[in-house]
Amino acid sequence: MRYLVAHSVRGRLRVRYPVRWLKSRRDALEARLRAVPGVRTVAGSARTGSVRIEYDPFQIAEQGLIDELEAMAPGLASAPARRAGAGETEAKLDVQRAPLLRLIGSTAVLAAACLPVPGSVLAGLILASDLPALLRATVALGRRRLDGDVLEASTLVLLVTRGNYVASALLTWLRSVGEYIVAKTVVTTRRSLYDLVADPDQTVLRIRGRSRQLVRVAALDIGDIIAIDAGCQLPVDGMVVGGEALVNQQTVTGEALPVERRSDDRVFAATVVEHGHLQVRVDRVGLDTAVGQIVRTIETAAAEKSDIQRLAERLADREVARTLILAALGAGFSRSLDAGTAILVADYGLAARVGIPTAIVTSIQRASAVGILIKGPRALENLARVNTVVFDKTGTLTSGTPRVTRVVSYVRTLTEHDLVRLAAAAESEFRHPVARAILRLAAEQRARIPTPSSTTESVGLGVEVDVEAMRLLLGSHRFMESRGVDLDAARAEEAAAHAVGASPTFVAVDGRLAGIFVLEDELRAEARSAVRALRARRMQNVIMLSGDHAEPSRVIAESLGLRHHYADLLPEDKARLIEELKGEGRVVAMVGDGVNDALALETADVGIAVPGGAPVATEVADVVLLHGGLDRVVVALDLARAAIAGVRRTLQIASQANLAVVGLASFGLASPVTSILLSHGSTVAAAIAMAARPGGGRVETRKTKKRRNKNVR
């Protein structure tokens, strides 16, 4: 089975497999890898298809680990794919169909309870409508556990036994309404995520020879040719085969201005043609697109339970014994079994199962509506707890589109133009900001870029290539020193660059300094306001990290008013610093965009990838910003905190309602129906209000208008 090495540093390797292949073989692969001497930990993700391996580099080399993967491949490929079991199928139905069926059934039973229907018939219908809960209670009793399922089933059976059919039917109906709200919220969130890739009702003009036909996006096949006009969002990843256009690619590349696209250029789903016309060959569609891969991860995680929900459910289970004691005392005090039954209704189980997931999933949906993709409930919870924000400098606090302002040659046989085309050859396979700046300069000079015969990258430092019978080094001061290149000739230019906050990139040929590129990057317009907004939210610290030289980093940090900034950092240095912050008890969010940020993004409590981040950065990040500036970091924090505040409000409502039920029932002032309406009714009403609140709220979104025309509808 083919795999891709997505990221590697000393002691850590991340490989990516096809998602469907890994989903059925993850356990076997992890078990075999853990048996390899020197492997410390293995963590596979069936959602992203990636496997992270941490190993002892003194026991096994990276190449040795790759050899082990190669040796495992035939055995894993021949292993039968695990079919979805009944439990998995039921879990899927529980989100989409079963809650609706239970709601319909319980509504019919509640209506029947208000009509003159024989008691025995009503009793059977009520118990049948809540059969799943009764089965869960039976399982819990079989395991000698007294939990919320047992309490709910006992209350229902007691109500039915005493002939209180309206109360028991109402109890079942409110529970089914709550379950339906959660399921509906999850499904709505998934649909809103799919809409980020392509409108499900969108049609495009497919071209086959001389035939042109409007078809739905879902009907497109790999290799189809489609036509896209100005004002329309691209629904696929593909290659331009005809036409020219300006395309807004900020969601994928982070470039704020539209870029020109013509034949043989790549285009991506969720980007917008702002001017012109394109014919595009379909390479990937739907969830297989670059944006779709992120969406796939989130929509899978949306149905997972959050840590706060798990905790609330455990606490609700612990309250069962106390509820039973209170019910007994209340019944004795009021001398009424109905009072005891009313108190039994006062539990926190429904708030944990309905109120919490509704608040969490609804917040994920609202975040996606403003271009913020939060990868699941746990990421949202951690984001709400963040008290320290760490920014990468290049491409995050700065625009990420530096310009080459000066080129100096130190070798008579190489002109500045020669340095540009050779450097462009070295960077031709890369997308990081320095590479884009040099390639942009080469395009402006119409330079003929040679093809390198070999390329070796040192992440965060530089690149080494063989080109035109020369060994070319291109990179930072540290990179050149590590290769033994004397930089004395460039000392004056380097100092001058640092003085104005610019970054020098050196070129060496066959071990000797050949030239220097001076690159200047502008601070993002919203960087200062974002830092001020974070401080206004009582962050313990806002920190800047950079792999750049200390002097230009200092200039940027001082312009932002940042007291804590660190420079000359390798990727592992950034990760180590974040580990130190976490060791101090901080909850750290790392904001970055590049390959050299991936390790830090993964190490942080919350990794946030800015628009246009490298694929490995968006893969390991917990939050992905599709568009907008650094203000979206602040918006994400606000949304997460609002979600947790919503959870607290729900629990507070449930707590107050339950206290009221216990107090009123103890004095015989609350019947079972009243108690059910106070306890369960208030929780369900709060969940409905939470789910019904319009998305976006106080957040202003920038949405591109999509013009409907003859090609895209």
- Taking the C-alpha atoms of residue 283 and residue 291, their distance in angstroms, rounded to an integer, is 14
Radius of gyration of the chain (CA): 30
Helix axes 165-197, 119-129, angle to 10 degrees: 30
Whether 532 has a pLDDT exceeding 60, the answer reads yes
The rounded percent of the chain whose pLDDT value lies above 90 is 18
Tell me the three state secondary structure of residue 244.
strand
Residue from 176, 140, 134 nearest 154 by CA: 134
Q: List pLDDT tens digits, range 564-574.
A: 999 888 888 89
> For residue 81, what is the DSSP state?
P
pLDDT-based confidence at residue 713 (cuts at 50, 70, 90): very low
Element containing residue 512 per DSSP (H, E): strand 512-520
pLDDT-based confidence at residue 617 (cuts at 50, 70, 90): confident
CA of residue 623 relative to chain centroid, distance: 4
**Topology classification of domain 403-520:** Calcium-transporting ATPase, cytoplasmic domain N (3.40.1110)
- Taking the C-alpha atoms of residue 410 and residue 415, their distance in angstroms, rounded to an integer, is 9
Q: Lay out the sheet containing 4-9: strands in order across.
A: 4-9, 12-16, 50-55, 39-45
User: What integer pLDDT is reported at residue 8 of this predicted model?
Assistant: 75
Q: List pLDDT tens digits, range 313-349.
A: 787 778 787 888 888 887 788 787 877 888 888 777 7
Whether 24 has a pLDDT exceeding 80, the answer reads no
> Angle at CA 412, nearest 5°, toward 410 and 414?
80
Work out the end-to-end distance of the chain between its first and last CA atoms, rounded to an integer number of angstroms.
40
Element containing residue 237 per DSSP (H, E): strand 236-248
pLDDT-based confidence at residue 198 (cuts at 50, 70, 90): low
> How do 541-545 and 388-392 pair as beta strands?
parallel
Question: Between residues 350 and 80, which one has the greater pLDDT?
Answer: 350
CB atoms closer than 10 angstroms to residue 481: 12
β-bridge partners, 282: 238
> How do 50-55 and 39-45 pair as beta strands?
antiparallel
Burial of 78 (0-12, 13-18, 19+ CB in 10 A): exposed
> How do 588-592 and 564-566 pair as beta strands?
unpaired
Residue from 5, 1, 41 nearest 20 by CA: 1
The residue-averaged pLDDT of 255-280 equals 81
Tokens at residue 449, please?
Answer: 């870029």
Q: How far, in Å, are 24, 303, 391, 395, 558 from residue 553 at the CA level?
A: 47, 42, 12, 13, 9
The residue-averaged pLDDT of 366-383 equals 87
Domain boundaries in the chain? 4-78, 387-398+524-604, 403-520
Query: Is the CB of residue 697 less than 8 Å from the CB of residue 189?
Result: no
Whether 31 has a pLDDT exceeding 60, the answer reads yes
Q: List pLDDT tens digits, range 127-154.
A: 988 888 888 888 888 888 878 788 888 8
User: What integer pLDDT is reported at residue 639 of this predicted model?
Assistant: 92
CB atoms closer than 10 angstroms to residue 71: 11
**Topology classification of domain 387-398+524-604:** Rossmann fold (3.40.50)
Residue from 179, 188, 185 nearest 98 by CA: 179
Helix axes 356-369, 682-692, angle to 10 degrees: 10
User: What integer pLDDT is reported at residue 697 of this predicted model?
Assistant: 40
- Enumerate residues 6+ apart whose C-beta is below 8 A from 167: 159, 671, 672, 673, 676
User: What integer pLDDT is reported at residue 200 of this predicted model?
Assistant: 60
> How do 541-545 and 564-566 pair as beta strands?
parallel
Phi, psi of 84, deg, nearest 5 = -65, 130
Whether 579 has a pLDDT exceeding 80, the answer reads yes
Tokens 């000739």 locate to: 489
Q: Which residues are catalytic?
A: 392
Tokens at residue 246, please?
Answer: 């300006």
pLDDT-based confidence at residue 287 (cuts at 50, 70, 90): confident
- Taking the C-alpha atoms of residue 349 and residue 151, their distance in angstroms, rounded to an integer, is 9
Tokens at residue 341, please?
Answer: 């039954």
- Enumerate residues 6+ apart whose C-beta is below 8 A from 437: 401, 402, 403, 404, 519
Among 22-36, 80-94, 486-500, which stretch is predicted with the lowest mean pLDDT?
80-94
The residue-averaged pLDDT of 257-266 equals 80
Residue from 460, 540, 442 nearest 503 by CA: 460
User: What integer pLDDT is reported at residue 19 of this predicted model?
Assistant: 65
Burial of 544 (0-12, 13-18, 19+ CB in 10 A): buried
Query: Is the CB of residue 598 less than 8 Å from the CB of residue 616?
Result: yes
pLDDT-based confidence at residue 709 (cuts at 50, 70, 90): very low
pLDDT-based confidence at residue 672 (cuts at 50, 70, 90): confident
Question: Between residues 713 and 385, which one has the greater pLDDT?
Answer: 385
User: What integer pLDDT is reported at residue 78 of this predicted model?
Assistant: 54
Residue from 542, 516, 532 nearest 390 by CA: 542
User: What integer pLDDT is reported at residue 614 of this predicted model?
Assistant: 66
Match domain 4-78 to its CATH number in 3.40.50.1370, 3.40.50.300, 3.30.1360.40, 3.40.50.1980.
Answer: 3.30.1360.40
User: What integer pLDDT is reported at residue 703 of this predicted model?
Assistant: 39
The rounded percent of the chain whose pLDDT value lies above 70 is 87
Question: Between residues 29 and 194, which one has the greater pLDDT?
Answer: 29
User: What integer pLDDT is reported at residue 88 of this predicted model?
Assistant: 35
Q: How far, in Å, are 396, 404, 449, 452 from residue 439 at the CA level?
A: 20, 10, 9, 14
Whether 55 has a pLDDT exceeding 50, the answer reads yes
Q: How far, in Å, are 89, 152, 301 from residue 21 at the CA level?
A: 19, 41, 19
Helix axes 356-369, 165-197, angle to 10 degrees: 20
Tell me the three state secondary structure of residue 403.
strand
> How do 225-229 and 272-285 pair as beta strands?
antiparallel
User: What integer pLDDT is reported at residue 675 of this predicted model?
Assistant: 86
Query: Is the CB of residue 465 less than 8 Å from the CB of residue 438?
Result: no
Q: List pLDDT tens digits, range 425-484.
A: 998 877 777 888 899 899 999 888 988 887 777 766 788 999 888 999 999 888 898 889
- Taking the C-alpha atoms of residue 657 and residue 346, their distance in angstroms, rounded to an integer, is 8
Query: Is the CB of residue 388 less than 8 Å from the CB of residue 587?
Result: yes
In the chain, DSSP finds a helix count (H) and a strand count (E) of: 28, 25
> For residue 255, what is the DSSP state?
-
Query: Is the CB of residue 234 less than 8 Å from the CB of residue 274?
Result: no
Which of 222-226, 594-598, 688-692 ranks highest by mean pLDDT? 222-226
Mean pLDDT of the chain, nearest integer = 81
pLDDT-based confidence at residue 486 (cuts at 50, 70, 90): very high
β-bridge partners, 520: 403
Q: Please, where are the H alpha helices in 584-703?
A: 598-603, 615-620, 631-666, 672-676, 682-692
> Angle at CA 139, nearest 5°, toward 134 and 142?
125
Whether 608 has a pLDDT exceeding 70, the answer reads yes
